Structure 1
Amino acid sequence: MSGGELFIVLIAMLGGAIRVSTPFMFVALGECLTEKSGRINLGLEGNLVLGAMVAYAGSYSTGSPWLGVLMAGCSGLVLGAMHGYICKLPKVNDIAVGIAFMSFGTGLAFFFGKPYIQPTAPRLEAIHLADWSGDPLVAQALQVNPLFFVGIALAAFMAWAFRNTRWGLIVRMTGDSAASAKAMGVSVDLVRLLATSAGGFLAGVGGAFLSLYYPGSWNEGLSSGQGLMAVALVIFARWDPIRCIFAALLFGAAGAIGPALQSVGISQGYYFFNAAPYILTLFIMIASARSKSAAREVPGELSIVK
């Protein structure tokens, strides 16, 4: 590979990392908030897919992609609230409910989304950060959607709030020790319901990015399991919102390897490189299972049994 081809591959991977990481980012931040409160929500894949469909339908119906984003977030919030309410009932398992809601959200999206597979909806506009460079490759790679910056700002706010606000302390205390939270007069069920609802909202917004920006259409194979991979991403980030951003970029870069190599005519092993995010997820889960640091930082109330 020549120096020019290497430059093209690196630029393509940079642009791909930014684009592909954005939905990972929102779902991971939503799951991070949920797990910080002591609850696991494996159903965010359903929130993501339903959010993608609702965003596309909302943008097509109203002519405003940003209204579509808001509607997508609201659809995720509803699923998150339903998940949170059911999980507070006695002898209900978070994992089982999450799997059920993953299928439920996906099924709703497929059922109600059929009329929107063909029509074209208004899409989110990108911010052109590198038009000044005069290089079309760099300019195209650095066309960044505003939601990417919203995700970074949100991660910074969450990290600050967990450390410096009363609400952040309550969420962390609820996730680490429900008994301590109850002793302080905190309603554990309410905190987890609100955290799960907010996490669902963020996952819905991540879905809006998929249908309204990249790849920018609605179809039934849109997500490719990104909601489930984001759960592994949160473990890899050790429940830290800032680390979630870097982990999402890492996943995004892994997903961009195949298209980047294809852009310089390297097609051998293309499908293997397309599987890179899934391979990375597997290695992350194996490494996290053996990590003493991750075991120390996991919220104390997280468990597959009650």
Structure 2
Amino acid sequence: MEDGIGIWGVPLAILAGAIRVSTPFIFVSLGETITERSGRINLGLEGTLVFGAMTAYAVAVMSGSPYLGVLAAMATGAIFGLVHGFICKFPKVNDIAIGIAMMQFGLGLAFFLGKSFIQPVAPRLPSIALGGWSDSPQLQSALTINVLFIVGALLALALWWAFRNTRVGLILRVVGDSSDAARAMGLNPDTVRLLATAAGGALAAIGGAYLSLYYPGSWNEGISSGQGLMAVALVIFARWNPIGCFLAALLFGGAGALGPALQSVGVTQGYYLFYAAPYVLTLAILVATSSPTRALVGAPGALSITK
């Protein structure tokens, strides 16, 4: 049997790449959706993502368990979110400015603490092989799915249902739309946003753990490539809908996999231009959604970018 699969090589490579590349986007965007639904934007998730990657890798190296690495990353992500939320509750504090400061803090701290873990090899997160029925290595690779991708898909469905059908979802939506209405219902908007920001940080850190413990599966200072910031644009594109975030993450993942897919099937010239596809897509989304004449459909009313 021939090693190549002809014209099907590119779509299969893009499918495999989309599944691998999209997983961090899924968790960061779902975390940011929870945070923004409460009426707060967190631009610090890039720092949380990178620090989560470093923490997961370091704990996995020391403990020998990638699962403990993921749990440790979640804990640090929640702490980052709590710090962000605590600072933002003070009057006249801008959540966007604090997010940028937290991003730089997370990046700097990760680079400083992670220097000794660049060389050691950590155990990888397991994956599920769904292509065993095929003799094609390309198809088998495309259908090898990490467990966190499946968790992310299930989490998107759970959040979509929870926002619509649970008391917690109702509280989050009320606080996100109007602080005054929330107070009239006896809710404390600062507390709700604090917890939502912590939850968002914990999910973003899972995305970082995926980067260091599965794909690309190592720790280095350039591991994120701006995925935490791109996820904010993804949430806007998905209109704060968890299922929309999952689908948009696959779109971003496919864009990110385009260059490697072309390279894998023998394209030797110009393929590197497609490595910029996720950044071009992010810019296009921001331009398309930045209209001075119309509001963002589905945006929480208390969110700072809507004012």
Aligned equivalents of 1:54 and 1:182: distance in 2? Answer: 38
Contact 1:93 1:304 in 2 (8 A): no
Q: Which amino acid aligns with 1:80?
A: G
Partner Cα distance (1:69, 1:39) in 2:
25
CA contact (8 A) 2:239 2:297 kept: no
Q: TM-score, normalised by structure 1?
A: 0.97
Give the deviation of 1:209 after TM superposition: 0.2
Q: Which runs of 5+ in 2 are unaligned?
A: none
Aligned residues: 304
Compare 148-157 and 288-297 and name the one that shifted more. Answer: 288-297
Distance 2:83 2:221 in 1: 23
State the partner residue of 1:249: 250
Q: CA deviation at 1:270?
A: 2.2
Indicate if the aligned counterparts of 1:45 and 1:228 stay in contact, CA closer than 8 A.
yes
What letter is aligned with 2:111?
F
Q: Distance in 2 between matches of 1:235 and 1:6?
A: 34
Matched, 1:61 2:71: no
Letter of the 2:259 partner, please give it: G
Q: Which residue of 1 aligns with 2:26?
A: 25
How far the C-alpha of 1:200 sits from its partner, in A, is 0.1
Aligned position for 2:296: 295
Once residues 243 and 294 of structure 2 are traced to their aligned partners in structure 1, the CA distance between those partners, rounded to angstroms, is 17
Aligned equivalent of 1:203:
204
Distance 2:287 2:154 in 1: 30
Query: How far, CA to CA, are the matches of 2:114 and 2:257 in structure 1?
Result: 27
Matched, 1:13 2:14: yes
SS at match of 1:214: coil
**Cα distance in 1 between the residues matched to 2:44 and 2:220:** 19
The match for 1:72 is: 73
User: Following superposition of structure 1 onto structure 2, how do residues 166-181 of structure 1 map, counting pairs within 5 Å?
Assistant: 166-181=167-182
Q: Is the 8 A contact 1:94 1:304 kept in 2?
A: no
Q: Equivalent residues in 2 for 1:75-90 (5 A)?
A: 75-90=76-91
Q: Does the 8 A contact of 1:45 with 1:226 survive in 2?
A: yes
Taking the aligned partners of 1:30 and 1:155, their CA distance within structure 2 comes to: 10
Tell me the amino acid that sits aligned with residue 211 of structure 2. L
CA distance in 1, matches of 2:274, 2:282: 14
Q: By how many angstroms is 1:132 displaced?
A: 1.2
The 1-side partners of 2:231 and 2:65 are apart by 28
User: Match for residue 138 of structure 1?
Assistant: 139
1:92 aligned partner, one-letter code: V
Alpha-carbon displacement from aligned partner over 1:42-77 (angstroms, at most 9, x marks no partner) = 000000000000000010000000100010111111
Gap change, CA 1:267 and 1:92, over 3 Å in 2: same
2:242 is matched by which residue type in structure 1? P
Assess if the C-alpha contact under 8 Å between 1:238 and 1:294 holds in 2.
no
State how far apart, in whole Å, the 2-side matches of 1:152 and 1:30 are.
Answer: 13
Q: CA RMSD for the aligned pairs? A: 1.5
2:233 corresponds in structure 1 to: 232
C-alpha deviation, 1:304, in angstroms = 5.1
Q: Quick one: distance in 2 between partners of 1:240 and 1:304?
A: 17
Paired AA for residue 215 in structure 2: Y
Q: Deviations over 1:203-250 (max 9, x none)?
A: 000000000000000000000000000000000000000000000000
Look up the equivalent residue of 2:63 and give its one-letter code. Answer: T
Unpaired runs of 5+ residues, structure 1, are none
- Classify the secondary structure of the residue corresponding to 1:22: helix
Q: Distance in 2 between matches of 1:304 and 1:4?
A: 47
CA distance in 2, matches of 1:189, 1:274: 40
Contact 1:8–1:264 (8 Å) recurs in 2: yes
1:84 alignment partner, SS class: helix
Q: Which residue of 2 aligns with 1:40?
A: 41
The yes-or-no answer on 1:95 pairing with 2:96 is yes
Contact 1:95–1:304 (CA under 8 A) maintained in structure 2 = no
